[in-house]
Amino acid sequence: MTDNRQVSVRGLTRRFGTNTVLHKLDLELEPGSFTALLGRSGSGKSTLLRTLAGLDPRPVEARIEVPEAVAVAFQEPRLLPWKRVWENVTLGLPGKGAPARAERALAEVGLARHRDAWPATLSGGEAQRTALARALVREPRLLLLDEPFAALDALTRIRMHALVLDLWRAHTPTTLLVTHDVDEAILLADRILVLDAGRIAADIPVGIERPRSHGDARFAALRRRLLSELGVEAEVIREAA
């Protein structure tokens, strides 16, 4: 039986001029799984995510299967500044149940009290939580996160990690997180992919029970492995430790 959260990509090639960014890429995501996508700058992470989101054209020769209900959150919250939080979350939302869903989503991200606030008055974390509520309210079966925590301060980022894990557990969308942050990938994901030379160069199960701790020897070992997959030399790893 097929699950409506299944993601399957076969033979995805994406070129910009002479720059082949994705080359015959294959990818399967288990329904309801949480996967992190790492890769050097320019390796094509956002390109892959945008293609899955349907924001970029899908090459005809590729076979791409994604759920119908897809939501994306980006590094910047991309709220409409002339609309209040409530309108930003409900914008374009069809159906009678929409207001109730929006109430629920705002409560879930802890923003029920901010429903009438203007985006300009929100902190970075609140704006990003609004963007998460906007994603949630669409009841996505695939949730695509493109570095949604990168612009946040360290404490807010920790809170957002916990929130995203809670939301993922509660709603179980298939989730793909693009990140530069190896620790973030290990903290959150069940599976970590490394994109290199247009393909999935490494596919690593995390296999550490949650909640995960940086102090865990398995965490440190996985971090070393991922940094080496990303081409960071051993000396740099020692210096950073």
Ligand X SMILES: Nc1ncnc2c1ncn2[C@@H]1O[C@H](COP(=O)(O)OP(=O)(O)OP(=O)(O)O)[C@@H](O)[C@H]1O
By the 8 A CB rule, do 206 and 190 touch? yes
Residue 231 CB, nearest approach to ligand X (Å): 14
Three-class SS of residue 154?
Answer: helix
Tell me: does residue 215 bind ligand X (CB under 6 A).
no
41 binds ligand X (CB under 6 A): yes
Residue 231 binds ligand X, judged by CB under 6 A:
no
Question: Should residue 194 be labelled a site residue for ligand X when binding is judged by CB under 6 A?
Answer: no
* Binding test (CB under 6 A) with ligand X, winner from 1, 2, 16, 209: 16
Pairing mode, strands 34-39 and 19-29: unpaired
Q: Does residue 19 bind ligand X (CB under 6 A)?
A: yes
Tokens at residue 15, please? 């070129």
Which residue, 103 or 181, is less far from ligand X as judged by CB? 181
Does residue 45 touch ligand X according to CB under 6 A?
yes
Q: Between residues 42 and 231, which has the closer beta carbon with respect to ligand X?
A: 42
DSSP state string for 161-205: HHHHHHHHHHH--EEEEE-S-HHHHHHH-SEEEEEETTEEEEEEE
**Among 39, 140, 173, 198, which residue sits at the site for ligand X (rule: CB under 6 A)?**
39
| Amino acid at the residue 68 | E
8 Å CB contact between 34 and 175? yes
- For position 130 contacting ligand X by CB under 6 A, the verdict is no
What CA–CA distance (Å, rounded) separates 128 from 78? 9
The contact set with ligand X (CB under 6 A) reads 16, 19, 21, 39, 41-47, 180
